[in-house]
């Protein structure tokens, strides 16, 4: 079986299951193999009740000593039972499981597994899972993979499917040569994949993960270095001169550029008129004002009679850029003739746009990666700006180059990374840093709270909406999952939370939701309504993490904040505090573990993305490698540029050495690697699709 085989070729996967997997973006056997577990569940040996640590999953071996109470609250049936061992006793609370009264025998010993909390003077375990000692023994000493799920698809079902794939899959021969394998201490791809899904123990899991992360970094860096070679030879086929247009635009802006913006603007101007093709990255924290620089560069391009393109990772963001620029056109009389190009447009609209692009009638094209589709022919494309995403691969560039002369490239990113990493990751670009915020910004006020704070937060939100402001609420999931995972409480999800908020907030407040699996046209509509203030509270996944600019929004509330990396929370925070009003961030943690709260408190102490990311790294142990992502901007599947920095360095050194010894991979020992990289390159058109 090959990577490209459809999952319907697996036993037990019919049309219905196929649809469920499609929701998770899993279509082929290869997708399933690369759907690495979200995290792993460990079943530790049972402990004495007195030893069980609060707020953590624990198993106890205890006898049922009786029913404490049984009551109804609306449709909910609540059963409290008492369990005890030699060290102490514990209240077990079960919801809607009245039958347990009969099945759990008084005096019988069972293993109960759940999170121990304190209620008054007693410890309680809500909705624990119940095992016989024999069944439980089978689970201990193993790491059970937990996959991302969707309603109707259980963790067990995914496990079964992955097992089947691993047994049928044709792994082929190792593609790294022996030197690379030895020097980097890599296990085989096969072993890595088998282990990452079904690890025997923690040590081998770390090894497996290392190999997979190495692979991700290696192919990314290899292609990037190749890209650099390609770009360094490029001369400027679209030389430009500064015109009065940009000068006049700057005069009409309601604010002066910051010193940092001015410096970057002069670097861009110099690039565009130099003998070489521009290849520049603008790195600046959220809110530092990158958009205006893009507009200036595009304006200079248009003024010189060329076309420019502005590409965004999501349709929502592309639409927003379009609106912003249209506003400038209206207010400042800019010479732009913009056209929008996004996937959700009708084919008639698209065709019209293609026509205007091909004829040169449009001199500014704004859109998502639909832009680079085959059908688009540019009259004179001279500049491509990409916002909030770096992976502008060789392919995309070659593709655009194939449509005429090579355009200048300007990449904008808000990912805070230290200089040493930037040199590796952005090796193919010149780097400009905006290290200064526009003046007169009120710093965002933060608080880190537990779930008990919610009623207060809702009152606060209602108050802000009353003042005419708007609010974001972020949940980690889109919809409720099958509840067959245990140990950690269910995560908040956008769909249910929206309903919850609607009933918790006064009825005049408009609440709506947004997530990445909605139809693009629906997403756009919601974003437009939010921008137009007809929606007050927007419940969303991290779709809005990137780039959204609604200065009237003043509250960012993040549920299950403990599930996010600090750098990502910082990005989310950047969505507020963009206007003249005081803004607030409420990070709600559903775990009140000391370490979690400490980690989140860092956000209270700093507004500096670099600092936050580095502190987060210090506080996290190896066990946190799974489950928490720092930033989605580099679309590595599991590699994390922060916590895997040492693997990144190794991969980088390996690529350098390989390029020195065998740059075209012509030696027989690198033949398979060459094939592998060619295949990887084919799908490295790797935009951050949502
Ligand atoms: P980001 O760098 O996160 O993309 P934006 O470009 O969206 O930030 O800018 C955030 C906000 O700051 C926008 O509303 C923009 O108009 C405003 N802004 C940009 N530059 C300045 C400046 N020099 N002075 C004041 N406000 C500015
Ligand atoms: Mg931006």
**Which atom of ligand 1 lies closest to the CA of 293?**
6
Cα–Cα distance measured from residue 205 to residue 361, given in angstroms and rounded to the nearest whole number: 56
Q: What is the pLDDT of residue 212?
A: 95
Give distance in angstroms: CA of 542 to centre of ligand 1: 21
**Which atom of ligand 1 lies closest to the CA of 440?**
25
Kindly write down the DSSP assignment for every residue of 46-114, as one continuous string.
PB-GGGPPTTSEEEEEEEEEEEEEEEEETTEEEEEEEEEETTEEEEEEEES-TTHHHHS-TT-EEEEEE
Q: What is the pLDDT of residue 634?
A: 60
Cα–Cα distance measured from residue 655 to residue 311, given in angstroms and rounded to the nearest whole number: 29
Q: What is the pLDDT of residue 296?
A: 98
* Segment 61-67 mean pLDDT: 94
Give distance in angstroms: CA of 384 to centre of ligand 1: 20
| 557 band by pLDDT with thresholds 50, 70 and 90 | very high
For ligand 1, mutation pick of 291, 389, 440, 531 (most atoms within 8 Å of CB): 291
* Segment 455-469 mean pLDDT: 96
Place of tokens 């030895």: 182
Q: What is the pLDDT of residue 464?
A: 97
Beta strands at 39-42 and 129-131: parallel, antiparallel or unpaired: unpaired
Give distance in angstroms: CA of 390 to centre of ligand 1: 20
Neighbour-count burial for 275-291, b at 16+ CB within 10 Å, e otherwise: eebbbbbbbbbbbbbbb
Does the structure show a pLDDT above 90 at 32? yes
Nearest CA to ligand 1 atom 19: 289
Write out pLDDT tens, residues 254-276.
999 999 999 999 999 999 999 99
Q: Which ligand lies nearest to the CA atom of residue 292 in the structure?
A: 1
Nearest CA to ligand 1 atom 23: 257
Give distance in angstroms: CA of 411 to centre of ligand 2: 11
Comparing CA positions, the residue from 422, 405, 404 lying closest to residue 280 is 422
* Segment 52-70 mean pLDDT: 90
Extract the tokens encoding 406: 């090579």
**Which atom of ligand 1 lies closest to the CA of 579?**
14
**Which atom of ligand 1 lies closest to the CA of 388?**
4
3-state helix, strand, coil in the chain (%, to 5): 40, 20, 40
Does the structure show a pLDDT above 50 at 225? yes
* Segment 33-41 mean pLDDT: 88
Extract the tokens encoding 420: 């040493």
Give distance in angstroms: CA of 320 to centre of ligand 2: 10
Extract the tokens encoding 549: 């600019």
**Which atom of ligand 1 lies closest to the CA of 578?**
11
Beta strand segments in 233-372, E: 279-284, 307-311, 338-341, 364-367
Comparing CA positions, the residue from 538, 429, 460, 556 lying closest to residue 494 is 538
Please give the C-alpha separations between residue 517 and each of 17, 26, 520, 573, in angstroms, as whole numbers. Answer: 18, 14, 8, 23
Comparing CA positions, the residue from 108, 70, 63 lying closest to residue 90 is 63
Please give the C-alpha separations between residue 289 and each of 257, 258, 435, 570, in angstroms, as whole numbers. Answer: 9, 9, 11, 16
Q: What is the pLDDT of residue 630?
A: 47
Q: Which ligand lies nearest to the CA atom of residue 291 in the structure?
A: 1
Give distance in angstroms: CA of 579 to centre of ligand 1: 9
Place of tokens 């008492």: 82
Q: Which ligand lies nearest to the CA atom of residue 286 in the structure?
A: 1
**Which atom of ligand 1 lies closest to the CA of 434?**
2
Q: Which ligand lies nearest to the CA atom of residue 324 in the structure?
A: 1
Give distance in angstroms: CA of 491 to centre of ligand 2: 29
Cα–Cα distance measured from residue 40 to residue 477, given in angstroms and rounded to the nearest whole number: 18
Does the structure show a pLDDT above 90 at 251? yes
Extract the tokens encoding 50: 């007195």
| 361 band by pLDDT with thresholds 50, 70 and 90 | very high
151, 481 contact by CB (below 8 A) = yes
Nearest CA to ligand 1 atom 25: 438
Cα–Cα distance measured from residue 602 to residue 612, given in angstroms and rounded to the nearest whole number: 7
Does the structure show a pLDDT above 80 at 399? no
| 663 band by pLDDT with thresholds 50, 70 and 90 | confident
125, 487 contact by CB (below 8 A) = no
Cα–Cα distance measured from residue 125 to residue 511, given in angstroms and rounded to the nearest whole number: 34
Which run of H or E residues covers position 531? Answer: helix 520-531
Q: What is the pLDDT of residue 404?
A: 60
Give distance in angstroms: CA of 436 to centre of ligand 2: 15
Extract the tokens encoding 307: 């076309």
Indicate the burial class of 409 (C-beta count within 10 angstroms; 0-12, 13-18, 19 or more): buried
For ligand 1, mutation pick of 256, 289, 297 (most atoms within 8 Å of CB): 289
Q: What is the pLDDT of residue 684?
A: 44
Give distance in angstroms: CA of 578 to centre of ligand 1: 7
Cα–Cα distance measured from residue 430 to residue 417, given in angstroms and rounded to the nearest whole number: 15
Extract the tokens encoding 540: 């969303």
Nearest CA to ligand 1 atom 9: 289
Q: What is the pLDDT of residue 627?
A: 45
Give distance in angstroms: CA of 169 to centre of ligand 2: 43
Comparing CA positions, the residue from 136, 162, 125 lying closest to residue 26 is 162
| 489 band by pLDDT with thresholds 50, 70 and 90 | low
Cα–Cα distance measured from residue 197 to residue 224, given in angstroms and rounded to the nearest whole number: 29
Extract the tokens encoding 477: 């999931």
Give distance in angstroms: CA of 526 to centre of ligand 1: 23
Residues whose CB is less than 8 angstroms from the CB of residue 468 and which lie 6 or more positions away in sequence, other chains included: 533, 552
Q: Which ligand lies nearest to the CA atom of residue 440 in the structure?
A: 1
Q: What is the pLDDT of residue 689?
A: 22
Q: What is the pLDDT of residue 638?
A: 82
Q: What is the pLDDT of residue 46?
A: 93
Residue 296 is given by DSSP the state H
Place of tokens 């410890």: 123
Q: What is the pLDDT of residue 99?
A: 93
Q: Cβ < 6 Å from ligand 1: which residues?
A: 255, 257-258, 261, 284, 286-292, 414, 438, 547, 549, 551, 578
Cα–Cα distance measured from residue 242 to residue 299, given in angstroms and rounded to the nearest whole number: 10
Q: What is the pLDDT of residue 397?
A: 59
**Which atom of ligand 1 lies closest to the CA of 551?**
14
Kindly write down the DSSP assignment for every residue of 195-249, as one continuous string.
HHHS-SSHHHHHHHHHHHHHHHHHHHHHHHHHHHHHHHT-B-SS-----HHHHHH
Nearest CA to ligand 1 atom 5: 289
Beta strands at 57-73 and 109-119: parallel, antiparallel or unpaired: antiparallel
Does the structure show a pLDDT above 90 at 453? yes
Q: What is the pLDDT of residue 533?
A: 93
Q: What is the pLDDT of residue 636?
A: 76
- Phi/psi-derived region of residue 255, left when phi > 0, alpha when psi is between -120 and 50, beta in every other case: beta
Q: Which ligand lies nearest to the CA atom of residue 633 in the structure?
A: 2
The sign of the dihedral angle between the CA atoms of 397, 403, 407, 413 is: negative
For ligand 1, mutation pick of 290, 296, 438, 575 (most atoms within 8 Å of CB): 438
Q: Percent of the chain at pLDDT above 70?
A: 90
Beta strands at 88-95 and 76-85: parallel, antiparallel or unpaired: antiparallel
Lowest mean pLDDT among 279-288, 472-481, 500-509, 538-547: 538-547
Does the structure show a pLDDT above 80 at 324? yes
| 286 band by pLDDT with thresholds 50, 70 and 90 | confident
Residue 485 C-alpha from the chain's centroid:
22
Q: What is the pLDDT of residue 390?
A: 54
Q: What is the pLDDT of residue 690?
A: 19
Mean pLDDT of the chain: 86
Lowest mean pLDDT among 473-482, 560-569, 664-673, 679-688: 679-688
For ligand 1, mutation pick of 287, 290, 437 (most atoms within 8 Å of CB): 287
Q: Is the pLDDT higher at 225 or at 428?
A: 225
Lowest mean pLDDT among 27-36, 100-109, 546-555: 546-555
Comparing CA positions, the residue from 347, 344, 266, 278 lying closest to residue 306 is 278
- Phi/psi-derived region of residue 300, left when phi > 0, alpha when psi is between -120 and 50, beta in every other case: alpha
Q: What is the pLDDT of residue 393?
A: 54
Cα–Cα distance measured from residue 628 to residue 621, given in angstroms and rounded to the nearest whole number: 12
| 195 band by pLDDT with thresholds 50, 70 and 90 | very high
Comparing CA positions, the residue from 299, 517, 155 lying closest to residue 291 is 299
- How close are the terminal C-alpha atoms of the chain, in Å? 29
Give distance in angstroms: CA of 290 to centre of ligand 1: 7
Give distance in angstroms: CA of 547 to centre of ligand 2: 4
Q: What is the pLDDT of residue 493?
A: 93
Q: Which ligand lies nearest to the CA atom of residue 287 in the structure?
A: 1
Write out pLDDT tens, residues 369-383.
766 666 788 899 999
Nearest CA to ligand 1 atom 24: 438
Q: What is the pLDDT of residue 681?
A: 61
């Amino acid at each position: 079986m090959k990577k490209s085989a459809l999952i319907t070729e697996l036993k037990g996967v019919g049309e219905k299951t196929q649809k469920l997997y499609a929701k998770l973006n899993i279509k082929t056997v290869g997708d399933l193999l690369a759907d690495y577990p979200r995290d792993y569940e460990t079943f530790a040996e049972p402990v004495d009740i007195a030893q069980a640590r609060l707020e953590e999953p624990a198993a106890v071996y205890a006898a049922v000593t009786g029913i404490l109470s049984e009551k109804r609250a609306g449709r909910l049936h609540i059963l409290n039972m008492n369990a005890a061992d030699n060290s102490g006793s514990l209240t077990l609370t079960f919801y809607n499981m009245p039958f347990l009264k009969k099945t759990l025998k008084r005096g019988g010993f069972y293993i109960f597994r759940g999170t121990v909390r304190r209620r008054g003077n007693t410890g309680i375990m809500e909705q624990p899972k119940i095992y016989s000692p024999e069944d439980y023994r089978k689970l201990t000493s193993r790491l059970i993979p937990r996959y991302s799920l969707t309603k109707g698809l259980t963790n067990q079902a995914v496990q079964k499917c992955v097992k089947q794939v691993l047994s049928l899959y044709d792994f082929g021969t190792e593609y790294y040569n022996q030197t690379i394998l030895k020097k980097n201490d890599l296990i085989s791809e096969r072993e890595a994949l088998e282990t990452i899904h079904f690890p025997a123990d923690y040590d081998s899991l770390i090894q497996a993960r290392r190999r997979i992360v190495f692979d991700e970094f290696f192919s990314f860096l290899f292609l990037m270095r190749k890209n650099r070679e390609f770009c360094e030879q490029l001369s400027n086929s679209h030389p430009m001169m500064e015109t009065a247009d940009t000068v006049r635009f700057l005069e009409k802006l309601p604010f002066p550029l910051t010193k940092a913006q001015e410096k970057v603007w002069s670097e861009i101007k110099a690039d565009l008129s130099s003998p070489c093709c521009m290849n520049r990255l603008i790195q600046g924290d959220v809110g530092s004002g990158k958009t205006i620089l893009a507009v200036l560069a595009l304006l200079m391009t248009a003024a010189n009679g060329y076309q420019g393109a502005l590409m965004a990772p999501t349709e929502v963001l592309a639409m927003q850029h379009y609106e912003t620029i249209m506003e400038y056109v209206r207010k400042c009389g800019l010479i732009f003739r913009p056209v929008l190009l996004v996937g959700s447009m009708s084919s008639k609209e698209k065709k019209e746009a293609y026509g205007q692009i091909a004829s040169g009638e449009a001199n500014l094209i704004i859109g998502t990666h639909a832009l680079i589709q085959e059908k688009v022919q540019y009259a004179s494309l001279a500049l491509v700006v990409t916002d909030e995403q770096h992976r502008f691969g060789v392919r995309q560039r070659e593709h655009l180059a194939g449509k005429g002369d090579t355009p200048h490239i300007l990449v904008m990113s808000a990912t805070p990374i230290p200089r040493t990493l930037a040199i590796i990751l952005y090796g193919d670009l010149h780097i400009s840093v905006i290290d200064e915020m526009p003046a007169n910004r009120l710093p965002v006020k933060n608080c880190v709270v537990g779930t008990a704070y919610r009623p207060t937060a809702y009152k606060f939100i209602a108050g802000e909406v009353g003042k005419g402001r708007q609010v974001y609420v972020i949940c980690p999931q889109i919809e409720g999952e099958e509840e067959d995972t245990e140990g950690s409480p269910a995560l908040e999800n956008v769909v249910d939370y929206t309903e919850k908020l609607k009933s918790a907030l006064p009825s005049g407040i408009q609440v709506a939701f947004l997530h990445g699996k909605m139809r693009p046209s629906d997403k756009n509509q919601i974003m437009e309504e939010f921008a137009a203030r007809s929606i007050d509270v927007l419940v969303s996944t991290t779709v809005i993490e990137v780039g959204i600019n609604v200065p009237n929004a003043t509250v960012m509330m993040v549920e299950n904040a403990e599930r996010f990396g600090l750098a990502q929370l910082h990005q989310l925070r950047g969505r507020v505090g963009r206007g003249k009003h005081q803004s607030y961030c409420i990070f709600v943690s559903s775990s009140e573990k000391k370490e979690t709260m400490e980690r989140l408190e860092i956000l209270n102490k700093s507004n500096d993305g670099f600092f936050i990311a580095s502190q987060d790294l210090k506080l996290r142990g190896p066990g946190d490698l799974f489950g928490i992502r720092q930033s989605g901007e580099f679309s590595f599947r599991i590699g994390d540029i922060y916590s895997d920095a040492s693997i990144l360095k190794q991969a980088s050194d390996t690529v350098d050495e390989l390029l020195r010894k065998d740059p075209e991979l012509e030696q027989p020992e690198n033949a398979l690697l060459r094939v592998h990289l060619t295949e990887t390159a084919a799908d490295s058109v790797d935009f951050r699709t949502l």
